[in-house]
Amino acid sequence: MTLLDRIKNRFRNGNIVEKLIYINCFIFFSTLLTRVFQGLYINEYNFIIEWFSLNGDTNSLLIKPWSLISYGFLHADFIHILMNLIVFYYIGNLFLEYFTHKQLLNFYFLGTFFGGILFVFSQNYFPLFNGKTATLVGASAGISAIFIGIATYIPNYQIKLRFIGFVKLSYLAAIWIGLDLLGLIGNNSGGHFAHLGGALFGFLFNSKPKTKKSNLSKYFRNILKRDKKPLKTVYNSNKKRKTTSNTDLTQKQIDVILDKISKSGYDTLTKSEKEFLFKQGKN
């Protein structure tokens, strides 16, 4: 099996995080090749950067509106893409423990989009931070949306960092946002505006499922803990029989499942747990 075949096989069998990493790497090396070609033959023109990066000029945005998304797959240099993809690998796979591949893809694209919108806005309405119109590349806005989104969903989740120990995800997210706020007064203020745009999307979007999850848990609790009908007494052949319920037997199982919904959401339940809740809700 050739190296190309191995790469194709890894791409085919990888999850959505790995596929996005492969796509970013492919585009990065393609950009490098065009730069080499540029240096040898063209001197001042790079097709990929020219047509797929996001320019702060609104007139440029009208000519290439796709750049609001495509800039999220370009990177300035090797360190830029390396740092972005390392963070994306760990945070993206953590995100997939609680959400689907489709949801991660939505966060990546929409975070990139809203980051691009805030970047263009900053370039035109914040002259205090920007002396000239800049060009934006990088996946950081999409990664910020995923990072802040999962940190909003599970703020008390702890990550073990080498030489530091366990740190809550919410603390890391606060540091991430703080660095971008400090970066607004630097030379790359437009890029940090884009990061904040993606982070804002991740926070606002993922603060809603938490409320819905709580309401869902409350809904199940109201159904499963509702008052039972009085016990019926049936007389037959002078023998008294009394109908009973399995509430005492199953209540403990119900509480365990409801606690799981409160902590992790309804989607994390197993198929058997969902069927159990459904059956109990019909009783």
Q: How far is CA 136 from CA 62, 153, 192, 193, 220, in A?
A: 16, 29, 10, 11, 47
Same domain, 199 and 64: yes
Same domain, 132 and 256: no
Last residue of a domain, one of 182, 210, 238: 210
Distance CA 59, CA 63 (A): 7
Domain count, the chain: 2
Same domain, 274 and 163: no
pLDDT top residue among 133 and 77: 77
Same domain, 244 and 122: no
pLDDT at 43 over 60: no
Same domain, 146 and 246: no
Same domain, 242 and 189: no
Same domain, 136 and 254: no
Same domain, 140 and 191: yes
- Find which of 89-103, 203-217, 255-269 is predicted with most confidence, using mean pLDDT: 89-103
- Band of pLDDT at residue 210, cut at 50, 70 and 90: very low
Taking alpha carbons only, the member of 169, 149, 167, 154 closest to residue 268 is 154
Count of other CB atoms within 10 angstroms of residue 84:
19
* pTM assigned to the model: 0.71
The answer to whether position 194 is within a domain reads yes
- Band of pLDDT at residue 138, cut at 50, 70 and 90: very high
Give tens-digit pLDDT for 76-118. Answer: 889 999 999 999 999 999 999 999 999 999 999 999 999 999 9
The answer to whether position 218 is within a domain reads no
Last residue of a domain, one of 210, 236, 263: 210
Q: Average pLDDT for residues 179-208, to the nearest whole number? A: 88
Same domain, 37 and 168: yes
Region class of 180: left (phi > 0), else alpha (psi between -120 and 50), else beta: alpha
Give tens-digit pLDDT for 157-178. Answer: 999 888 888 999 999 999 999 9
The answer to whether position 215 is within a domain reads no
Same domain, 177 and 252: no
* pLDDT for the residue numbered 70: 95
- Band of pLDDT at residue 240, cut at 50, 70 and 90: very low
> For a pLDDT cut of 70, what percent of the chain falls above it?
75
Q: Which domain holds residue 266?
A: 225-282
Q: How far is CA 259 from CA 208, 227, 274, in A?
A: 19, 20, 14
The answer to whether position 273 is within a domain reads yes
The answer to whether position 13 is within a domain reads yes
Same domain, 125 and 188: yes
Region class of 229: left (phi > 0), else alpha (psi between -120 and 50), else beta: beta
The CATH number of residue 53's host domain is 1.20.1540.10
- Band of pLDDT at residue 206, cut at 50, 70 and 90: confident
- Band of pLDDT at residue 230, cut at 50, 70 and 90: very low
Last residue of a domain, one of 176, 210, 244: 210
The answer to whether position 220 is within a domain reads no
pLDDT top residue among 125 and 152: 152
What is the full DSSP assignment across the chain? --HHHHHHHHHHHS-HHHHHHHHHHHHHHHHHHHHHHIIIIISS--HHHHHHSEES-HHHHHH-TTHHHHGGG--SSHHHHHHHHHHHHHHHHHHTTTS-HHHHHHHHHHHHHHHHHHHHHHHHH-TTT-SS--EE--SHHHHHHHHHHHHHHSTT-EEEETTTEEEEHHHHHHHHHHHHHHHTTSTTHHHHHHHHHHHHHHHHHHHHHHHHHHHHHHHHHHHHTSPPPPPPEEEETTEEEE---SHHHHHHHHHHHHHHHHHH-GGGS-HHHHHHHHHHHH-
The answer to whether position 70 is within a domain reads yes
Same domain, 95 and 170: yes
The answer to whether position 252 is within a domain reads yes
Say which residues have a Cβ less than 8 Å from residue 116's Cβ, sequence separation at least 6: 54, 67, 68, 69, 71, 72, 136, 141, 194, 197
pLDDT at 62 over 70: yes
